[in-house]
Amino acid sequence: MKFKNILKFTCGLLLITLFIFTLSLVEIDYQPHIQEVEVHYLNDNLYKNFSKQDIVFQAKLFFNTQDSLKDINTSVLEDLILEYEYINKAEVYLDLAKVAHIYISFREPFVKVLSDDRIHYYDDDGVLLPALLESQDLLIISGDLAENEFKNFIPIVEQIYNHDMLNNLIGGIHYDILEGFELSSKLCDLGIKIGQHDIRSKLNIIKSFSAFLSEELGCDYCKTINLKYNNQIICVK
């Protein structure tokens, strides 16, 4: 009887030893979760209702659903971050210390659009932006602003921004689908109709007439000038 008990005990001990030895040969695929999330801005945050904590919170929710670091697909998190309407680029990197670094780039206001007596900000992709922290000194555009017409503004706005004289002179652009573009001059509150012409073809005449108006004629001389026709300035009082 004693012999049988000793034999059972010995066999049990051998089985336990064998089980422990087998476990030691198995690679356990477990890695701790992300320890920290750091958010880095690649440009200024101009938006009123956004903070780094918004991204940190979303990232932690995402990481908590992953079983291990090997399971983490950073491109999925990047796509989730891009759902914020004011972010146009997001990149996520994991370092060896299990810290997630998130780099984000914000959409930048390109123009102000006057619609229904309210000012709205758009970027150069035509995306309507959320509320900003403070007003931006940008061109104001108005008129026929259907989605396909908005694209017509991009070249002329860029030309104004990239030209020192025009950037200082022009404060707004009005577009009429039939009449074309009318520029609003900061000088004398003058309207400048250029129709469908490329603004660069009218640079010299705008510059010359603006100087002549302010120095010789006075701001009351013209309310609007029409430059639709070649080599002509039609003054409307």
pLDDT tens digits for range 225-236: 888 887 778 887
Are 151 and 167 in the same domain? yes
Please report whether residue 9 resides in a domain.
Answer: no
Please state the domain count of the chain: 2
- 120 with 92, same domain: the answer is no
Residue 69: band (very low, low, confident or very high) from pLDDT cuts 50, 70, 90:
low
Identify whether 8 is part of a domain: no
In the three-class reduction of DSSP (H, G, I as helix; E, B as strand; rest coil), residue 122 is classed as: strand
Give the CATH number for residue 73.
3.10.20
**pTM, entire model:** 0.72
Provide the pLDDT for residue 4: 53
Q: What would the pLDDT profile of 207-225 be if each residue is shown by its tens digit?
A: 777 777 777 777 777 788 8
Name the more confident of 22 and 118: 118
Rounded distance between C-alpha atoms, residue 160 and residue 200, angstroms: 9
Any domain includes 229:
yes
213 plus 121 within the same structural domain: yes
Tokens read off for 154: 């991009």
One domain for residues 131 and 213:
yes
Q: Are residues 115 and 78 in the same domain?
A: no
pLDDT per position as a tens digit, 87-141: 999 999 988 888 889 999 999 999 999 888 889 999 988 888 988 888 888 999 9
Confirm whether 31 is domain-assigned.
Answer: no
What pLDDT, on a 0 to 100 scale, did the predictor assign at position 39? 94
Interior angle at CA 59, CA 57 and CA 62, nearest 5: 110
Is residue 143 within 8 A of residue 174, CB to CB? The reply is yes
What pLDDT, on the 0 to 100 scale, is given for residue 42?
Answer: 94
Q: Which two tokens stand for residue 119?
A: 């000012």
Is residue 147 located within the same domain as residue 223?
yes
115 with 102, same domain?
no
Domain with 45, as residue range(s), is: 36-106
User: In this structure, is residue 123 part of a structural domain?
Assistant: yes
- Domain membership flag for residue 23: no
Of 67, 89, 106, at which residue does a domain stop? 106
Helix (H, G, I), strand (E, B) or coil at 49: coil
35-44, 135-144, 163-172, 194-203: range with lowest mean pLDDT: 194-203
Q: Given a cut of 80, is residue 2 above it in pLDDT? A: no
Based on the domain organization, do 232 and 123 belong to the same domain?
Answer: yes
